[in-house]
Structure 1
Amino acid sequence: MATTADFKNGLVIEYNNDLFMIVEFQHVKPGKGPAFVRTKLKSISTGKVLDNTFSSGVKVTTARVERRPHQFLYKDDMGYHFMNASTYEQIAIQEDLINAPKFLKDGQEVEILFHAEEEKVLGCELPQHVIMTVTQADPGVKGNTATNATKNAVVETGATIQVPMFIEQDEVIKINTVDGSYVERVK
């Protein structure tokens, strides 16, 4: 059990028979009336974000969530298969639990979130940035470089992203897995 004074970003609580992660919170003390805590809660099962207000000092049930490092092995009709780096145990996860499955490549390190009491998989998070090789890029048209013009490029996992005009085939780039955007060229 915890109170609203224990709130912090990333804390997982049980609320309305579901697990929610606190994305953002703010203690508010109005001039008139009792204090309260305004929060943004993200459902771990559905990914939906909802705004909620708790009275100050109210008790909430926290859930113990563990992040364990795993390595991506392969994908088949059973799902995406990962191996725990320390115990060598393998687990299969469905695509909807992975935050950016189009950027998974063989041998990539990820973090899998487990509900510690139930040993249930809650999600799989890739690192914020991944490094990929461009396998196919549309040719850049001369004269289009005055503005922030972009073109389509296909990376080694088959995902198509928008890159600047100067990126060519076989170049190595860094990609943001949160929104799938180009970050920079890797030397």
Structure 2
Amino acid sequence: MASLIDAIAIKRKMLFEFEDTPFSCLEADVTSPTARGGQTLVRLKMRNLLTSAVFEKTFKANDKFKEPDLVIVPVSYLYSDGEGSHFLDQESYETLTLTEEMVGNALDLLIEGTLLQLHKYNGNPIGLQLPMFVELDVAYAEPASRGDSSSGGGTKMARLETGLEIRVPPFIKEGEKVKVATENREFAGRA
């Protein structure tokens, strides 16, 4: 039997199960009553881990949630085809396939062999957790404007090996490896 979590104990980034669906808490706000006998309420901004939908809902402080049967598995990206995107479980060596909806726009940041984490709910793959940074080759970089090569005079557009286009400093050239932050898809430095 999974342990139960009180609504008032749910904090940011915690995982819980509500109506047989796994959720991640994005924000938690506790409202205490001013009158005696009033109920303490907890407003949760939460993300459905199956659909990625985000919404807010208010619960009583003593409402209980189950811990979801959620497992995070280390995987490496193999390839994508008509069936979906395929990943190799680094522990069991089985191939796990995610649909296009589950992967979302993460393919902009993935090359063959990229290590990341996959979420499994009740034994089935449901989504990915990207690393904070990925290293990708610059396939094309705009030529730097003359006089721009000194310290940081702006940015230019670069297309990475996955097709993702980002802004980079003028000194970055084709063929270089750059570090990209996965959260905002911005240049984070040379790799």
Tell whether the structures are fold-level matches, with TM greater than 0.5: yes
1:77, distance to aligned residue in structure 2 (A): 1.8
Paired residue for 2:173?
Answer: 168
Among candidates 87, 92, 105, match of residue 111 of structure 2? 105
The structure 1 segments of at least 4 consecutive aligned residues displaced by more than 4 Å after TM superposition are: 143-148
Alignment of 1:57-96 (within 5 A): 57-96=62-101
Q: SS in structure 2 opposite 1:96?
A: helix
Is this contact kept in 2: 1:11–1:62, CA < 8 A? Answer: no
CA RMSD, Structure 1 to Structure 2 (Å) = 2.2
**In structure 2, how many angstroms separate the alpha carbons of the residues matched to 1:125 and 1:136?**
28
Is this contact kept in 1: 2:96–2:125, CA < 8 A? Answer: no
The number of residue pairs the alignment matches comes to 184
**In structure 1, how many angstroms separate the alpha carbons of the residues matched to 2:23 and 2:153?**
38
1:82, distance to aligned residue in structure 2 (A): 1.0
- Compute the TM-score of the two structures, normalised by the length of structure 1: 0.87
Can you list the C-alpha shifts for 1:121-144, whole angstroms capped at 9, x where unaligned?
110122111011212101111356
Is this contact kept in 2: 1:98–1:125, CA < 8 A? Answer: no
Q: SS in structure 1 opposite 2:187?
A: strand
Q: SS in structure 2 opposite 1:27?
A: strand
Is this contact kept in 2: 1:23–1:41, CA < 8 A? Answer: yes
Alignment of 1:10-49 (within 5 A): 10-16=13-19, 18-32=21-35, 33-49=38-54
Q: Please, which runs of 5 or more residues in structure 2 have no aligned partner? A: none
**Is 1:125 matched up with 2:129?**
yes
Can you list the C-alpha shifts for 1:100-119, whole angstroms capped at 9, x where unaligned?
1111111111111011xx31
Among candidates 125, 141, 144, match of residue 140 of structure 1? 144
1:11, distance to aligned residue in structure 2 (A): 2.8
Letter matched to residue 177 of structure 1: T
Q: Please, which runs of 5 or more residues in structure 1 have no aligned partner? A: none
**Is 1:56 matched up with 2:71?**
no
Deviates more, 1:10-19 or 1:144-153: 144-153
Letter matched to residue 78 of structure 2: L
Summarize the Cα distance change of 1:86–1:27 in structure 2 as closer, same or farther, 3 Å threshold: same
Query: Percent of aligned positions with the same letter in both sequences?
Result: 27
